[in-house]
Amino acid sequence: MSRAGLDKNPREVAEMFDGVAEGYDRTNSVMTLGFDRRWREWSRRVLDARPGEKVLDLAAGTAVSTVEYGESGAWCVAADFSLGMLRGGAKRPVPKVAADALHLPFRDGAFDAVTVSFGLRNFEDTEAALREMARVVRPGGRLVVCEVSSPTFGPFRAVYKRHLLKVLPVVAKRVSSNPVAYNYLAESMATWPDQRALGEIVARAGWDDVAWFNLTGGLVALHRAVKPLD
């Protein structure tokens, strides 16, 4: 059993996800009470990919999100550095590439859009990863980040941060193949920037027109941005 630390050492993060890959999709649905499906649907709508476009789904894990984006008719590729997670999605009929978010094996401007769901929080350097994502997207191309965020209703936010995050590892003990990894999940959620702060990081990384939408009362937020035209 392994878990990563909050320094997000890439080797430890990859090993941790290899350890949760078995049954990841089921655990995810249980832990999110099935809301994950709606969040993915919203991400697809906000990305608004078109047939003929090329979309990079980064930190795609078992490629559930990649399949969702594929519904749009765009050509979507799943990239992740955990071979265990990619293998977990082997049956999903989308192209899969082993790749580290900080050193993507794609040429400049290769994609029309890049997206990352519940992955950005795990990268060792958030801003550097967002810059690398901008590199592989064409000028005028889009970014959509779906990530846990900060509940908008103050009293709930306090309870959520103080108590609910502690419940996650307890539930994970029953359903996950690597329950200690869910201690990391709770800690990384508690220390993650809120909507505005993440929007500022996205802008600092060189993206324009940054906007965000709260889903499920801000438990999750979608950040959208556009790569400036040259």
Ligand X SMILES: C[S@@+](CC[C@H](N)C(=O)[O-])C[C@H]1O[C@@H](n2cnc3c(N)ncnc32)[C@H](O)[C@@H]1O
Query: Is residue 72 marked as binding?
Result: no
> By three-state DSSP, how is residue 66 classified?
helix
Q: Which of 56, 77, 89, 100 binds ligand X (CB under 6 A)?
A: 100
Give min distance, CB of 225 to ligand X, in A.
18
Q: How far is the CB of 179 from ligand X (least distance, A)?
A: 15
Strands in 54-58's sheet, in edge-to-edge order, are 96-98, 75-80, 54-58, 111-117, 137-148, 220-226, 208-215
State the Cα–Cα distance between residues 29 and 27, nearest whole angstrom. Answer: 5
Q: Which positions from 9 through 38 interact with ligand X, judged by CB under 6 A?
A: 10, 13-14, 17, 28
The two beta strands, 111-117 and 137-148, are parallel
152 has binding-site annotation? no
From 119-127, 154-162, 176-184, 197-205, give the range in contact with ligand X by CB under 6 A: 119-127
Query: Residue 15 Cβ, how far from ligand X at the closest point, in Å?
Result: 10
Residue selected from 27, 72, 82, 195 as contacting ligand X according to rule CB under 6 A: 82
Instruction: State the number of CA atoms in the 13 A half-sphere of 55 facing the CB.
Output: 31
205 marked as binding residue = no
Q: Which residues touch 11 (CB under 8 Å, ≥6 apart)?
A: none
Which residue's CB comes closest to ligand X? 61
**Which residues in 152-173 are b (16+ Cβ under 10 Å) and which e?**
eeeeebeebeeeeeeebbeebe
Beta carbon nearer to ligand X, 7 or 230: 7
Stretch that binds ligand X, among 57-65, 166-174, 189-197, 201-209 (CB under 6 A): 57-65
| Identified binder of ligand X from the candidate list 46, 47, 49, 59, rule CB under 6 A | 59
**Residue 137 makes contact with ligand X by CB under 6 A:** no
d(CA 62, CA 195): 26
> Is 178 a binder of ligand X (CB under 6 A)?
no
When the beta carbons of 159 and 223 are compared against ligand X, the nearer one is: 223
Tell me the C-alpha distance between 188 and 120, whole Å: 11
* Choices 60-68, 105-113, 132-140, 207-215; region in contact with ligand X by CB under 6 A: 60-68
Which sign does the torsion angle of CA 206, 222, 63, 15 carry?
A: positive
**CA–CA distance, 67 with 76 (Å, rounded to integer):** 8
Annotated binding site: 62, 80, 100-101, 117
Q: Which residues bind ligand X (CB under 6 A)?
A: 10, 13-14, 17, 28, 59-61, 64-65, 80-82, 85, 100-102, 117-119, 122-123
